[in-house]
Amino acid sequence: MNNTLLIVDDSRVSRMILSKVFSSLASDWTVIEAENGEGAIQQAEKHQPSLIIMDLNMPLLNGLDAALILKPKMPNTTFVILTADIQESSKAKVNSLGIHFIEKPITESVVQQALEFWSTEHV
């Protein structure tokens, strides 16, 4: 069975870019999307993705809170926060909760980093 990536971002353009760049690097993955934290929880429970890349600032439920709800239920999933909020303090906060952190704008090297986080956790 293919691995599944769940992309969570309220910006449609961000989801498009991430999906496109990711597929070019890992074409055998199934990519699904959600627009906010609540949608992410539904999608994650239904599809059990092995990698979740989530925006931080989103309406309703933000990415970090959603990740903290999902993480205990999904021990085999790699959680990555992808955000424009690149302050050291934000990064430290996300990392201290055991969640990976990558910076916008979405480029090939940034997405590659997320894939590496996943592969080191799934050797």
Binding site residues, other proteins, CB under 8 A = 10-14, 16-17, 19-20, 23, 57, 83-90, 104-105
Q: How far apart are CA 54 and CA 1, in angstroms?
A: 23
In the complex, minimum distance from the CB of residue 23 to other proteins, in angstroms, rounded to a whole number: 8
Question: 67's torsion region: left (phi>0), alpha (psi -120 to 50) or beta?
Answer: alpha
Q: Among residues 100 and 104, whose Cβ is nearest to other proteins?
A: 104
Tell me how far, at minimum, the Cβ of 38 lies from other proteins, in Å: 17
Closest CA to 21 of 7, 39, 34: 7
Nearer to other proteins, 76 or 87 (CB): 87
Residue 9 CB, shortest distance to other proteins, in Å, is 9
In the complex, the smallest distance separating the C-beta of residue 96 from other proteins, rounded to whole angstroms, is 14
**From CA 55, how far away is CA 66, in angstroms rounded?**
10
Q: Which two tokens stand for residue 16?
A: 């498009």
Residues, the chain: 123
